[in-house]
Amino acid sequence: MHSGIVYLVGAGPGDPGLLTLRGRECLQMAQVVVYDYLANEQLLNYAPEDAERIYAGKIGGRHNQDQDEINRLLVEKGLAGRVVVRLKGGDPFVFGRGGEECEALREAGVPFEIIPGVTAALGAAAYAGIPLTHRDFTASVAFVTGQEGKGKDESAIDWDRLSLGGGTVVFYMGITTLRRSMDRMIEHGRAPQTPVALVRWATTSGQQVVTGTIADIADKAEAAGFKPPAVTIVGDVVGLRERLRWFDNRPLSGRKIIVTRAADQAGEFSSLLARLGASVLECPTIELVEPESWDGLDAAISSLSGFSWLVLTSGNAVRFFFHRLDALGLDARALGGCKVCAVGPKTAEAARGFGIRCDLVPADYKAEGVVASFSGIDISGKKILYPRADRAREIIPQELEKLGARVTTPVAYRNILPDRLSPEAIFALEKRSVDCITFTSSSTVHNLTQMLGADLLVDMLKGVAVASIGPITSGTCRELGLKVDIEPHEYTLVELAEAIERHFSA
């Protein structure tokens, strides 16, 4: 007896953050994902790498696979004992043909589960700043297919009640039939001056909104070249948009930005940019791993009591150093009287997470700043421990030794190339739909260049704003033929995000 199951998961209208927790759980255990055109491709990252991914979408009115084929596919995979996620844009049961798929599964004896999603009407209205109901305007709302009646002499829609009821009406996928639908509403008694909003690619960075009235919205849509996928919202509540709009008022709304940080570090920076309205594509160009041998760092840790200073130049250095300390059965107490220097407030904050209050945080967050800070301290004859990345610059140990210190530089972690680059990010670069790419270290630039090739990288970044976290990274960019457009005054992620905001606001 088979043990397969099919989960019909509502992917929401576009913003990947609108996926439900249950939807994410299902994706994480999927063996097969059958996904639609309207399902955000970023959601596929929740599925295991070895999960089979099958595109069953619809573009421009043409099905990649017709519904009967999709039904057969779901049944076939379910009967084969596979855990299948049918990832559907919006909600499976709101104009999503989920009912037909469930009927086919039930008939074949394949277990299934329905995970609701945020349907397009709700997402589009909320992100456009339009309340579908409001006690001062209407207490009812209707969802209607915009394709119903096409090629038919008679419509199954009760246009009299729909038009005279006075409630909000949302048409799904009705751009190609917009003029006919608006004409019918007028013919059946709806006031021609009733406000209307068209919302395209709702909840995504590409969201577009056109407003008008029943009488003129079709002309405005044609003038704007407005195309599917979109929903049409009809009702007096549309007039509240100018007061309540929020999503497309954010400083980076409509901007697509690539973040090249390591996968386990990109989240914070990505969230900063997303809160400013950007659509973020994570494309890790570095992977941080353990050194080939712990011998050097272990030897230094075994003689920690002999060191006067510990220099930590990044959150990565903090993390790998203290994790190794823990692996050896030690904790922060092993530092004893050893003072700690942290390069930048974020590094100092990471150290505080391990119970360390840093003694020195240079005002200049780069190697030269560390050297300048130590130049005012007598370190002649003192031992300094500098756990570093395998590709770290040599400025700190070289210059501190010139000041008389004895510097030990064991490798605490390595920076290696990831197995592959994000296909979503590369596809976006190929489509010329990226506004900005960010580099937060020289390694992120070098690695991307190595994986793409210098000539291809320069070509793909034509017209893309290059944002660098500081002068060292900027210098690497320029050496590789890239023009740096954005660089913050202080070399932190917060400042970099603010610099990006200022650049696009200008």
CATH code assigned at 325:
3.40.50.10090
Q: Are residues 131 and 200 both part of a single domain?
A: yes
Residues with a catalytic annotation lie at 36, 58, 173
Q: 212-236 burial string, b = 16+ CB within 10 Å, else e? A: bbbeebbebbeeeebeebbbbbbbb
pLDDT tens for each residue of 146-161: 876 445 556 778 899 8
Q: Are residues 392 and 426 both part of a single domain?
A: no
Q: How far is CA 347 from CA 239, 270, 305, 358, in A?
A: 49, 19, 22, 9
CATH number of the domain bearing residue 194: 3.30.950.10
**pLDDT in the model for residue 64:** 56
Q: Flag whether pLDDT at 61 surpasses 70.
A: no
Best CA proximity match to 279, nearest among 373, 177, 204, 381? 204
**pLDDT in the model for residue 25:** 97
Q: Are residues 133 and 96 both part of a single domain?
A: no
The DSSP string of 198-222 is EEESTTSTT-EEEEEETTTHHHHHH
DSSP, res 240: G
Q: Are residues 328 and 430 both part of a single domain?
A: no
Q: How far apart are CA 174 and CA 150, in angstroms?
A: 10
Best CA proximity match to 2, nearest among 156, 130, 111, 90? 111
Q: Flag whether pLDDT at 212 surpasses 60.
A: yes
3-class DSSP state of 30: coil
Q: How far apart are CA 74 and CA 68, in angstroms?
A: 10
Q: Are residues 145 and 241 both part of a single domain?
A: yes
**pLDDT in the model for residue 63:** 54
Q: Are residues 274 and 423 both part of a single domain?
A: yes
Q: How far apart are CA 310 and CA 418, in angstroms?
A: 30
Non-local (6+) Cβ contacts of 397 within 8 A are 386, 407, 409
Q: Are residues 126 and 245 both part of a single domain?
A: yes
pLDDT tens for each residue of 297-351: 999 999 999 999 999 998 999 999 999 999 999 999 999 899 999 998 889 999 9
**pLDDT in the model for residue 149:** 47
| Cβ atoms 357, 342 nearer than 8 A | no
Q: Are residues 314 and 391 both part of a single domain?
A: yes
DSSP, res 171: E
Q: Are residues 133 and 228 both part of a single domain?
A: yes
Of 118, 140, 171, which closes a domain?
Answer: 118
Of 384, 415, 446, which closes a domain?
Answer: 415
Number of domains within the chain: 4
pLDDT tens for each residue of 345-370: 889 999 999 999 999 999 888 888 89
Non-local (6+) Cβ contacts of 60 within 8 A are 228
What is the CB neighbour count within 10 angstroms for residue 310? Answer: 23
What is the CB neighbour count within 10 angstroms for residue 391? Answer: 14
Q: Are residues 282 and 422 both part of a single domain?
A: yes
Q: How far is CA 270 from CA 155, 266, 280, 345, in A?
A: 47, 6, 6, 19
Does 417 or 3 have the greater pLDDT score?
A: 417
Q: How far apart are CA 393 and CA 217, in angstroms?
A: 60
- For residue 147, the enclosing domain spans 122-249
**pLDDT in the model for residue 152:** 57
**pLDDT in the model for residue 60:** 45
Q: Are residues 91 and 105 both part of a single domain?
A: yes
Q: Are residues 282 and 294 both part of a single domain?
A: no
